[in-house]
Every structure is written in structure tokens, then in C-alpha cells.
């Protein structure tokens, strides 16, 4: 009985730490707006319980709900059209010819494992092939963008006006506008990880669910920085700087006529929010009061 009481006491000490573990969230304070900033994962398995109570409360009171790009049906259809228009190689070129011998072998293995149509893959530019392979790998593991944070929040806060930092065309252009060399290097790195480190995405999701900023930064940010500095600049550094400017303008704006700051919820990929180059750190260096985790 004594041992049982000791065990229960230990569990009582541990339990608060367990129940508090949740994806990271920050609150930004300014005279013009109060911004709840939530770091999302775009692709998730089914039945993941991820939504923090603080996010639910913020959504109930939100005047505006911001995403990276619009996620209404028309915008998603436009994204598909843009990707198809910019994702195909010119006649006479093939994806395999752009890859190293090891990359070609790994591509064939991925096509076999994921049941991807080889002839159709050969028509894709490397960035489009990488997205197609990634989507198929997630689907094999029971995950999809439909289960990701943004899609699950698409109908949240019906009272809030929808806003976005970028258009779908801008986001597609970020991928399509990089050089062939950068695209090929990124694709080959993805093919390598798919076969040699298949648990990376699971580690990222686990770190996110626990609010482990160090783990998120390692699996979702530093891996990209090391494998492709050029893509890291395009997808993270430049966008973080642009979004910080937008948020600063909203935070420093004159208070609206109703006398209180506008209540805004911002949902963007969690990789944009960690580390010294993340949006919370950039805003702190601008003197903004940022409540929430550091690191």
C-alpha cells in the first residue's frame, strides 16, 4: 500500500506536465491588434487531437483569421491549375535525365513503393515530382492535407474575416521559380530521406504535439537549412521577414473605432515560428510584447 501511495504521488506530480504538452502558441500585443499566432502542421494523420484550448478561445472571439494562402475551394482549385501549368517539363526533357544515377535509382524505388506512374512522373519538373512523392508517402502512412491544421480550421470562426499573407500564385512561384539545380538537390534529398530516414515526419509531428521547439527546429527547419540553403532562404527567411512587416503594421495601427484592438488569429506552418529567424523572435527584436515560448 505504501508503494502504491508513492507511485500515485509521483504520477500526480507528472500529470500536469503531461496535460500541458500541446502545440506551441504565441500572443502578440499592440495598440492596434492582439494576435494569437499558432504554428501548424499542414499534413496530419487521422484522429490526431491537437487543438489547444487557448486557440479555441481565440477563434471564438476572432475578428480576423489569417492563413499563409487562401484555403477556400476556389483558391485550392486555382492552386492545382497553377501547379499543373508550371509543373511540367518541356517536350523532349525527362525527370530521370536531370537526376544523378543514385537519384534515378531512388526515384524508381519510390515509384514502386508508392505505386506512382513512372511515365507520368517523367513529365514533372523536380519540384512538382517532390510534392507528388511527398503526398503519396503521407497517404501511404494515413496522413493527408485534408487532415492538416489549415483544412480543419477552414470553417472555424465564421464571424471572422479571412485574410492571407500570399496568393496561391505567389506560393507556386516560390517552388517553380527556383533553379533546376536547387529543385533537383531538394528532390534527391527527399528521395534519400524517404528510404533512409522514413520517420522524420513522425518525429516532427511528435515534437509539435509536445510543444518541443528544439525538436521542431531540428526536424522541420535545420534539416532544410542544411540540405538546401537556397530553398531555405526562399521558403523561410524571406517569407518570415515579409510576414513580420505585415504583422507589425497591424500591431502598430491606430485602434479601431470600437475602442479595443482587433483580435486576430494567425495560422502558419510551425517552421516559420521557431528559432532566431522565426516570426516571434523577429517581432521581439522589434520591441513587440510576445507572450509564449522562446526558442
pLDDT in tens, 74-112: 888 888 888 888 999 999 999 999 999 999 999 999 999
pLDDT in tens, 18-40: 445 799 999 999 999 999 999 99
Q: Is the predicted pLDDT of residue 152 greater than 80, yes or no?
A: yes
Instruction: Identify the bridge partners of residue 66 per DSSP, sorted by sequence position.
Output: 163, 266
SS (HEC) of 69-110: CCCCHHHHHHHHHHHHHHCECCCCCCHHHHCCHHHHHHHHHH
Residues 171-194, buried b or exposed e (16+ Cβ, 10 A)? bbeebbebeeebbbbbbbbbbebb
Q: Is the predicted pLDDT of residue 289 greater than 90, yes or no?
A: yes
pTM: 0.88
Q: How many residues does the chain have?
A: 295
Q: 18: Cβ–Cβ under 8 A, 6 or more apart, which residues?
A: none
**How many Å apart are CA 210 and CA 41, to the nearest integer?**
13
pLDDT band at 13 (very low <50, low <70, confident <90, very high): very low
Other beta carbons within 10 angstroms of residue 105's beta carbon come to 13
Q: Is 258 helix (H, G, I), strand (E, B) or coil?
A: coil
pLDDT score of 11: 35
Q: Are 182 and 228 in contact (CB under 8 A)?
A: yes
Cell 529543385: give the residue. 183
pLDDT score of 149: 95
Continuous H helices in the chain:
2-20, 53-61, 73-86, 95-98, 101-114, 118-121, 126-140, 149-152, 168-176, 180-196, 200-210, 213-216, 223-227, 229-232, 238-252, 279-285
**How many Å apart are CA 175 and CA 154, to the nearest integer?**
24
pLDDT score of 5: 39
Q: Is the predicted pLDDT of residue 222 greater than 90, yes or no?
A: no
pLDDT band at 294 (very low <50, low <70, confident <90, very high): confident
Q: Are 163 and 102 in contact (CB under 8 A)?
A: no
Q: Is 178 helix (H, G, I), strand (E, B) or coil?
A: coil
Q: Is the predicted pLDDT of residue 1 greater than 60, yes or no?
A: no
Q: Which phi and psi (to 5°) does residue 28 adopt?
A: -105, 140
User: How high is the mean pLDDT of the chain?
Assistant: 89
Report the first-to-last Cα separation within the chain, whole angstroms: 43
Task: Retrieve residue 166's grid coordinates.
Answer: 500570399
pLDDT score of 4: 37
pLDDT in tens, 43-75: 999 888 999 999 999 999 999 999 999 988 888
Helices 180-196 and 101-114 pack at an angle, to 10 degrees, of 60
Give the CA dihedral 42, 43, 46, 47, nearest 10 degrees.
-30
pLDDT in tens, 168-188: 989 999 999 999 999 999 999
**How many Å apart are CA 20 and CA 52, to the nearest integer?**
9
Amino acid at each position: 500500500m505504501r508503494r502504491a501511495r508513492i507511485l500515485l504521488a509521483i504520477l500526480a506530480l507528472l500529470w500536469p506536465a503531461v496535460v500541458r504538452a500541446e502545440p506551441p502558441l504565441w500572443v502578440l500585443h499592440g495598440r492596434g491588434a492582439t494576435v494569437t499566432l499558432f504554428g501548424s502542421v499542414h499534413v496530419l494523420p487521422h484522429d490526431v487531437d491537437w487543438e489547444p484550448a487557448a486557440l479555441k478561445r481565440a477563434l471564438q472571439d476572432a475578428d480576423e483569421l489569417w492563413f499563409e494562402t487562401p484555403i477556400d475551394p476556389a483558391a485550392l482549385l486555382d492552386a492545382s491549375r497553377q501547379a499543373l501549368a508550371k509543373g511540367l517539363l518541356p517536350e523532349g526533357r525527362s525527370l530521370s535525365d536531370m537526376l544523378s544515377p543514385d537519384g534515378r535509382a531512388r526515384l524508381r524505388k519510390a515509384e514502386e513503393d508508392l505505386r506512382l506512374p513512372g511515365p507520368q512522373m517523367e513529365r514533372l519538373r523536380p519540384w512538382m515530382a517532390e510534392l507528388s512523392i511527398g503526398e503519396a508517402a503521407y497517404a501511404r502512412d494515413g496522413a493527408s492535407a485534408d487532415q492538416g491544421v489549415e483544412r480543419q480550421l477552414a470553417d472555424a470562426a465564421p464571424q471572422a474575416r479571412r485574410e492571407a499573407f500570399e496568393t496561391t500564385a505567389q506560393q507556386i512561384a516560390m517552388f517553380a521559380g527556383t533553379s533546376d539545380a536547387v529543385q533537383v538537390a531538394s528532390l534527391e534529398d527527399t528521395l534519400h530521406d524517404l528510404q533512409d530516414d522514413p520517420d522524420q515526419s513522425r518525429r516532427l509531428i511528435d515534437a509539435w504535439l509536445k510543444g518541443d521547439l528544439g525538436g521542431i527546429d531540428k526536424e522541420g527547419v535545420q534539416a532544410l537549412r542544411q540540405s538546401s540553403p537556397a530553398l531555405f532562404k526562399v521558403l523561410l527567411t524571406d517569407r518570415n521577414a515579409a510576414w513580420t512587416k505585415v504583422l507589425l503594421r497591424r500591431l502598430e495601427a491606430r485602434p479601431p473605432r470600437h475602442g479595443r484592438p482587433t483580435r486576430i488569429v494567425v495560422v502558419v506552418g510551425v517552421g516559420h515560428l521557431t528559432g532566431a529567424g522565426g516570426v516571434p523572435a523577429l517581432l521581439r527584436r522589434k520591441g513587440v510584447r510576445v507572450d509564449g515560448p522562446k526558442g
